[in-house]
Structure 1
Amino acid sequence: MRRLATALLGLTLALPLQAEWVFADFEAVSGTPQAKLFPHLESAGRGNLAAGGGQLALVWEDNRDGSPQVYAALRDLGRTGFSAPRRLSTGAEAYEPVVLGLGEGRFLAAFEQDGKVVMRVFSAAAQGPLATLDAAASAQPTLAAGKVGLHAVWGRRDGRFLRLVSAPLTVDGLKPHAGAARAVDTSPAQDEQLYASLVATAGGYALAWEDRRAGHTRLLTATSSDGRKWSEPQPLNEIPRSGTARELGLGRGPGVTRVCLAGDGADTVAAVWMDKRDFLSGYDIYAGVSTDGGAGFGANEKAQDVFGAEKPQWHPAVAVTPHGVVAAWDDPRDDSPDIWLAARAGGKDWSDDFTLDGARGTGSQDNPALLWHGGRLHLAWVHRDEQGGQVRYAQARWE
């Protein structure tokens, strides 16, 4: 086990003797690195990790079979080491998988395959049949399980645009079934609705997505008590009144993308996203925290510290823990992409950024995914060096 440290002008400074996140050594998930293997953790809402029934599941896409396909690996939560990767997809190509724990060691994966969203139940012992979630042209699923059941949201092609739809799900053994799909926003489609992120709350569900109806990308949120009827969309990202790229003729909006939600299953919902309001240094990581189940997120907060200010940040993920909100992303402040994290414990103050062994240094480390489960913070990411690409994993405890 190694204690985390913050990076300051290239020097590593020990953190004070107080409670902190302590990571175990990283583990390989996708097998040994391969020179022409290109794994991806780029799913909507960064929903690549799930746990339940004493098992942890991680899903990703790579090209080991000669085309982009979806794979899963399982790990006993009480022991180190992942199972050999298993292929979940069956078509010509597949992308952007997400996974949800069903209990008793079963998991539900959803992903795009050959231009349509499909789903599949799997466990360590068995794998169910592939089922269609949407027979229409569709993409970018996100899943959640709450007190009112299982639910999915995804983008369905509506003329020129992807439009968000939602549907309840049921699972009979290894067979998933989807109920009737309904539009999240009942107003006529005006432009793209992309990369939704869905979480369960005490009152139902909270949802966030990219929306382009205003002529530029905004982040919108909505809530639902049953996943069928959704509230009116509300803005998540603040739009600065001055000093924007638009004023200089560099764009129509502040530049936001790839929102990710996480919750505690009760009233706390955290959102993180990439935000280019300080456009001269590229994207920064911004956050919003709701204490009313996603109905409102309060003022936007910059999650990263000042030492990443001159470099762009990418691929944010978030987890809500009893010890506060944790955000993860990658940035090249040390000349190559590394994984960085920051924590928010009460109030609105974020910690100094920190990292961990195996997720920084030689090569490229990017596309993190986070999950809080069973008293541990679970982190996955993509590593690439001269030997090739590899999906990695590490877990942390608070001590």
Structure 2
Amino acid sequence: MKIADFVVLTLCFMLPTALTASSWKFERAIDVSGPNTGYFHHIDSSGRRNIAVSEQIIAIAWEDDRDGVPRIYLAYKGATDNNFNHDIRLSGGGEAYEPSLVALSGGRFVIAWEEDGYIHARMASLDGTPVLGPIVKVDSNPSSQVNLTTHGDRVYAVWSQRRGRFGRIHATDLRPNEKGVLKLGMACPVDAIPPTDEQLYPAAVISDGRLLVAWEDRRPKHTIIMAAVDHPGNPCRFSAAYRISEKPEIRGLPYGSGHGVSRVALGHYGHRGVFAAWEDKRDFRDGYDIWGAPFLSAESRFGSNVKLQDDFGGLAKQRHAALSGHRDGSLVAAWDDEREGNTDVVLSWQDDGVWSDDWLLPVASGEGHQSNPSIVLDTRGDLHVIWIERQDIGATTRLKYARGRRHIDK
């Protein structure tokens, strides 16, 4: 590939002495969807999983309203292809929102979404001529905000079910067969205690063979992040739910019932590592920041909260945190950031347990507004990033993609 096709990202414009031993190289950004003639893309799913890689196939799922109705679409390409294939519509005839996408082996993917107030899912085989499996309804009760995760070729779904007054997080497994049909396991609530307020926007990962779920919870009359982990061999029995977003120790701050948090994402890395990241308003002066916590697998709980963003982002707003990890222990975070006056995509990554200084992604920053990133590290360690681009707030959108490779200086 020609050198002109790459944008070499360096850290020297922020902190000349920081992380000089590593950087990233990103290919030029390309459009995922076709020419936009006046509609809007959305990649705002629970847990922010809208891109996945299986073998050498990169797939992306999103929602747009090109025909006047919000529907779910998918595009894909081979790792060496210059462009994405034509959009494939995944959802049915109803209004559909917030797709979540995961990869299986052999160029297969599973996608779940909300349609007409219920969670639906289907498989897509993209190795050769694309083949779509039948749509299945995951929950017969009103439900929304689905998130998918995988363990081998086993798929797990978590979502917010609204059978009573409040949303309640549920989980099940989805078992793909050779004909591309998803067989549903038993669905059960993650928190055994019936909710006294809303449970919303869950995210899940498999850690050490156990399903770990985190979500927004409003039981203390303000939003906190809670989590629970299932018991091995008993997928419908979870540990007692507990809070993972900490309450600040400083007294007298104008929080009301408490400071706000929002939209948790989970990333699995190494053999047993899991990290949670979310938007956090404990520094009430400047809107949301990005905070998180590591999962302590041996103790089956999350550790102390840490601030992911660096000090340069302290006076700006951050939103839409996404995470992805790798078997080698790498862990990358991405989010929206307004520190430069625009909305840009920022990356940070963890080296030896320490988060790097923040890095404005040149292919997703600068003039205009770039937001709502979703990321995934493939088996080689390449980082695949998608985001929404628009010239002005309220303008129609473009869905963009770029791939980056980690560069280690000698």
- TM-score in same-fold range (> 0.5): yes
| RMSD of aligned Cα (Å) | 2.1
- Equivalent residue for 1:166, pick from 171, 177, 184: 171
% identical aligned pairs: 36
Deviation at residue 294 of structure 1 after TM alignment: 8.4
For 2:364, the equivalent position in structure 1 comes to: 359
Q: TM-score, normalised by structure 1?
A: 0.92
3-state SS, counterpart of residue 82 of structure 2: coil
For 2:237, the equivalent position in structure 1 comes to: 229
Are 1:25 and 2:46 an aligned pair? no
Bigger drift between 193-202 and 148-157 goes to: 148-157
Deviation at residue 281 of structure 1 after TM alignment: 0.9
Contact 1:147 1:202 in 2 (8 A): no
Distance change (3 Å), C-alpha of 1:335 and 1:53: same
Contact 1:147 1:204 in 2 (8 A): no
Superposed CA offset, 1:69-94 (max 9, x none): 11111121233321111111112210
Residues 1-399 of structure 1: pairs in structure 2 closer than 5 A: 1-6=6-11, 17-34=20-37, 36-124=38-126, 125-146=130-151, 149-172=154-177, 173-224=179-230, 225-226=232-233, 227-243=235-251, 247-264=252-269, 266-292=271-297, 295-321=300-326, 322=328, 324-347=330-353, 349-375=354-380, 376-385=382-391, 388-399=396-407
What residue identity is the alignment partner of 1:55? I
What residue identity is the alignment partner of 1:362? E
Deviation at residue 17 of structure 1 after TM alignment: 4.8
3-state SS, counterpart of residue 307 of structure 1: helix
Q: TM-score, normalised by structure 2?
A: 0.90
Q: Which runs of 4+ in 1 moved over 6 A?
A: 11-16
Contact 2:158 2:171 in 1 (8 A): yes
**What is the CA–CA distance in structure 2 between the aligned matches of 1:167 and 1:396, rounded to whole Å?**
34
**What is the CA–CA distance in structure 1 between the aligned matches of 2:160 and 2:49, rounded to whole Å?**
15
Superposed CA offset, 1:144-200 (max 9, x none): 221593211111113211111111211122211212211111112211111100111
Contact 1:5 1:13 in 2 (8 A): no
**What is the CA–CA distance in structure 1 between the aligned matches of 2:148 and 2:111, rounded to whole Å?**
9
Deviation at residue 356 of structure 1 after TM alignment: 2.3
**What is the CA–CA distance in structure 1 between the aligned matches of 2:343 and 2:362, rounded to whole Å?**
14
Deviation at residue 33 of structure 1 after TM alignment: 3.6
Contact 1:268 1:293 in 2 (8 A): no
Aligned residues: 392
Superposed CA offset, 1:121-155 (max 9, x none): 11232112211111210001111221593211111
**What is the CA–CA distance in structure 2 between the aligned matches of 1:294 and 1:369, rounded to whole Å?**
30
**What is the CA–CA distance in structure 2 between the aligned matches of 1:357 and 1:249, rounded to whole Å?**
37
Distance change (3 Å), C-alpha of 1:371 and 1:16: closer
**What is the CA–CA distance in structure 2 between the aligned matches of 1:265 and 1:330, rounded to whole Å?**
26
Contact 2:316 2:337 in 1 (8 A): yes
3-state SS, counterpart of residue 358 of structure 1: helix
3-state SS, counterpart of residue 74 of structure 1: strand
Deviation at residue 256 of structure 1 after TM alignment: 0.7
Distance change (3 Å), C-alpha of 1:358 and 1:175: same
Q: Which runs of 5+ in 1 are unaligned?
A: none
Q: Which runs of 5+ in 2 are unaligned?
A: 1-5
Deviation at residue 13 of structure 1 after TM alignment: 6.7
Distance change (3 Å), C-alpha of 1:37 and 1:13: farther
Superposed CA offset, 1:303-361 (max 9, x none): 111111111100001112336321110021111111011112113x3221112233011
Distance change (3 Å), C-alpha of 1:215 and 1:148: farther
Bigger drift between 381-390 and 301-310 goes to: 381-390
**What is the CA–CA distance in structure 2 between the aligned matches of 1:263 and 1:240, rounded to whole Å?**
26
